[in-house]
Amino acid sequence: MATPYWTRPEPPYHVAIFTITPSGIDPEGYAEMNKRMVKLAEAQPGYLGRESAVLPNGSDLVVIYYADAESIRTWKRNSEHVVAQRLGRQKWLARYRVEVARVERAYEFAAGPSANAAPDAEGQTCGSASPGQD
Amino acid sequence: MATPYWTRPEPPYHVAIFTITPSGIDPEGYAEMNKRMVKLAEAQPGYLGRESAVLPNGSDLVVIYYADAESIRTWKRNSEHVVAQRLGRQKWLARYRVEVARVERAYEFAAGPSANAAPDAEGQTCGSASPGQD
Contacts of B121 in chain A (CB under 8 A): 89
A8 at the B interface (CB within 8 A)? yes
Mutation site, B82, B96, B97, interface A, largest A CB count within 10 A: B97
DSSP assignment of B3-36: --GGG--SSPEEEEEEEEEE-SSSHHHHHHHHHH
Residue A19 clears pLDDT 80, i.e. is over it: yes
**CA B22 from centre of chain:** 18
Per-residue model confidence (pLDDT) at position A79: 87
pTM: 0.85
Contacts of A115 in chain B (CB under 8 A): 94-95
Res. A24 pLDDT band, cuts 50 70 90: very high
Look over chain B and give the mean of its residue pLDDT values, rounded to a whole number: 86
CA B101-B79-B5 angle, 5° bins: 35
Which residue of chain B comes nearest to A58, CA vs CA?
B53
Per-residue model confidence (pLDDT) at position A124: 54
Complex confidence, ipTM: 0.85
- Structure confidence by residue, pLDDT tens digits, A36-86: 999 999 999 999 999 999 999 999 999 999 999 999 999 999 888 999 999
